[in-house]
């Protein structure tokens, strides 16, 4: 496919995710072949829905979406659908594979090298892989189709530093058309040529050249210019209105002058521009911890994954209130499995104080009931309280009241993450266990979340591959699972 040709064009495209839930409003933009574009926007703006339009899974309400007829498209999604987790590697990669059946193992080996993952057994089920390994499998499932247009939806979620570095190097050398959704600005800035910015307020698409930091500066300059122009107009409008009042009070022929002054003031009012609204950022919050005396949790042993299978290693670590523990290690070593075992209260592994209230943020959101409404999920987190408390907590975490009435399944991944934090806020746990709590979250919110966890007064155990996030949180103890491989 020739580069520099328009391979994708949106012409006056409008789309609603649900009735009266607009995502796009008469959107126009185009993408040239061989360019690498970042698709940015606030959680819930509709970025994944836009990918659904490109894939043909969603249909526009109006307007036209044009795709080069010779172009093939593939997507690396945010998460493996829950209903597909019991599929084998062979079944998962055979879906949509453009080659012959006998070619699949050879092609699989090629893409596994690209995503830096050992070639798995063909009969191994997807749920048996860690979150980071699943992220690599999702990328590989798109690459194996060798598409002309590659769509990646939050590809760095769950990846460790090595995985992100490997993916970044691959995308820097990638020669086909690429559109990436990510909240990791540093990752995007390493390889993108431009930005498509989906405004959650206006449902319009804005197209910029340069990286995300360039775009942020350009938007800030534009807002400042618009605010200055509006301030100048406001001053002139006030002058005209004051003059109109003076002439009107004098009566006679001056009343017609007063009318002209009012008309001029109205014309100036109409010339005021709508100042671009910036994405909302979470307000500062804290997660209350109910008081508890003495040890809250004692970890007696850990289990790590080795090439030969699980290996159990003894440990004796006790956490009291206001103690923060970081668990670290590469993808696939068993961090999430360890957290799940801690939450389960396996007495061979852990002792949890009687009466301790556990708050668990699971990276795949599987602790949420996707069939319940967001309101029901929040209400279930409270021991005591009234409905008004649910609405207040939801608003604090940027979940509008209208969204509370919809099933959790309909929320974006970022909104599910904010819902989980709202649950923890209402639950008031004294033991907080967090598995990759920044996945899918808008990067504007991450410093606010880090500050809340830094100030948390209960016992906290967490896993994160985001160095800047970890650096903002007080850490009292560290378990590096690599030390237990020896």
Tens digits of per-residue pLDDT, 143-154? 999 899 999 998
Q: Which of 44-48, 351-355, 432-436 has the highest mean pLDDT?
A: 432-436
pLDDT at 447: 92
Domain boundaries, the chain: 6-216, 297-484
Give the β-pairing of 459-463 and 323-328. parallel
- Indicate if the pLDDT at residue 313 is higher than 60: yes
Query: Residue range 110-128: average pLDDT?
Result: 89
Alpha-carbon distances of 10 from 36, 65, 200, rounded to whole Å:
17, 5, 18
CATH of 6-216, one of 3.40.50.150, 3.10.20.30, 3.30.1490.20, 3.40.50.300: 3.40.50.300
Homologous superfamily (CATH) for 297-484: P-loop containing nucleotide triphosphate hydrolases (3.40.50.300)
Reading the block at residue 261, the tokens are 């002054």
The CA distance from 9 to 442, in Å, is 26
**pLDDT-wise least confident of 204-208, 275-279, 352-356:** 275-279
CB–CB of 425/285 below 8 Å? yes
Distance separating alpha carbons of residues 348 and 326, to the nearest angstrom: 21
Closest CA to 24 of 66, 57, 63: 63
Spatial separation of the C-alpha atoms in residues 436 and 329, rounded to whole Å: 13
Q: How far is CA 374 from CA 18, 399, 422, 442, in A?
A: 16, 9, 10, 19
Do 475 and 460 contact (CB within 8 A), yes or no?
no
- Look at residue 323 and tell me whether its pLDDT is greater than 60: yes
Confirm whether 6-216 and 297-484 share one CATH topology.
Answer: yes
Checking if the pLDDT of 275 tops 60, the result is no
Residue 413: which residues within 8 A CB-CB, separation 6 or more?
48, 78, 79, 154, 365, 439, 440
Express each pLDDT in 445-469 by its tens digit.
999 999 999 999 999 999 998 888 9
103: tokens are 């070619």
Residue recorded with tokens 């360039």: 214
Beta strands in 98-226 (DSSP E): 149-153, 177-181, 194-198, 205-209
pLDDT given at position 124: 92
Q: What is the mean pLDDT of the chain?
A: 87
pLDDT, one tens digit per residue, over 183-230 is 777 888 888 888 998 888 888 898 888 776 777 677 767 767 767 776
Burial readout 49-69 (b: 16 or more C-beta within 10 A, e: otherwise): bbbbbbeeebebeebebebbe
Angle CA(11)–CA(13)–CA(17) in degrees, nearest 5? 160
Give the whole-angstrom CA distance, residue 334 versus residue 415. 27
Longest dimension (CA), the chain: 100
The residue that leads in pLDDT, 223 or 369, is: 369
Full strand arrangement of the beta sheet holding 6-18: 21-32, 6-18, 62-67
Task: Give the residue with greater pLDDT, 268 vs 454.
Answer: 454
Number of Cβ within a 10 Å radius of residue 482: 12
Sign for the pseudo-dihedral over CA of 246, 251, 254, 260: positive
Bridge partners for 152 per DSSP: 76, 180
Which residue's structure tokens are 């319940």?
372
**Phi, psi angles (nearest 5°) of residue 38:** -95, 130
- Tell me how far apart the alpha carbons of residues 294 and 350 are, in angstroms, rounded to a whole number: 16
For 275, which DSSP code? P
Concatenating the DSSP letter of every residue in 383-432 gives SS--HHHHHHHHHHTT--HHHHTSBGGGS-HHHHHHHHHHHHHHH--SEE
d(CA 165, CA 467): 13
| 272 pLDDT higher than 60 | no
């Amino acid at each position: 496919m020739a580069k520099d040709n328009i391979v994708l064009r949106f012409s006056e495209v409008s789309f609603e995710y649900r009735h009266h839930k607009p995502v796009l409003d008469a959107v126009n933009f185009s993408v040239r072949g061989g360019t690498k574009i970042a698709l940015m926007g606030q959680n819930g703006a509709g970025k994944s829905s836009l990918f659904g339009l490109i894939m043909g899974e969603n249909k526009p309400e109006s307007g036209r979406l044009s795709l080069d007829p010779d172009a093939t498209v593939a997507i690396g999604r945010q998460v493996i659908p829950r209903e597909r987790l019991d599929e084998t590697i062979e079944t998962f990669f055979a879906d949509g594979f453009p080659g012959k059946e006998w070619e699949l193992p050879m092609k699989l080996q090629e893409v596994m090298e690209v995503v830096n993952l050992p070639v798995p057994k063909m009969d191994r089920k997807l749920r048996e892989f860690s979150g980071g390994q699943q992220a690599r499998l999702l990328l590989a499932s798109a690459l194996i189709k060798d598409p002309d247009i590659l769509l990646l939806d939050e590809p760095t979620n769950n990846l460790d530093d090595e995985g992100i570095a490997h993916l970044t190097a691959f995308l820097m050398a990638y020669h086909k058309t690429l559109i990436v959704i990510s909240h990791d600005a540093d990752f995007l800035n390493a390889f993108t040529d431009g930005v498509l910015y989906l405004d959650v307020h206006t449902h319009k698409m804005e197209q910029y050249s340069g990286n995300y930091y360039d775009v942020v500066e350009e938007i800030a300059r534009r807002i400042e210019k618009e605010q200055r122009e509006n301030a100048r107009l406001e001053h002139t409008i006030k002058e005209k209105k004051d003059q109109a009042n003076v002439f009107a009070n004098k009566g006679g022929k001056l009343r017609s002058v007063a009318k002209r002054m009012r008309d001029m003031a109205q014309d100036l009012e109409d010339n005021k521009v709508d100042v671009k609204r910036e994405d909302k950022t979470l307000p500062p919050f804290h997660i209350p911890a109910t008081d508890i005396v003495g040890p809250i949790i004692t970890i007696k042993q850990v289990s790590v994954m080795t090439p030969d299978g699980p290996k159990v290693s003894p440990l004796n670590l006790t956490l009291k209130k206001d103690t923060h523990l970081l668990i670290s290690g590469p993808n696939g070593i068993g961090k999430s499995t360890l957290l799940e075992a801690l939450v389960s209260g396996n007495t061979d592994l852990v002792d949890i104080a009687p009466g301790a209230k556990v708050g668990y943020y699971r990276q795949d959101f599987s602790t949420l009931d996707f069939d319940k409404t967001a309101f029901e999920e929040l209400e279930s987190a409270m021991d005591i309280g009234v409905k008004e408390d649910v609405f207040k907590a939801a608003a604090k975490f940027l979940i509008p009241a209208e969204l509370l009435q919809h099933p959790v399944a309909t929320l974006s991944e970022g909104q599910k993450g904010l819902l989980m934090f709202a649950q923890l806020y209402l639950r008031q746990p004294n033991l907080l266990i967090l598995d990759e709590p920044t996945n899918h979250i808008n990067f504007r919110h991450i410093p606010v979340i880090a500050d809340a966890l830094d100030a948390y007064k209960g016992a906290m155990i967490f896993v994160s591959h985001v160095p800047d996030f970890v650096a903002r949180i007080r850490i009292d103890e560290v378990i590096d699972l690599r030390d237990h491989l020896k």
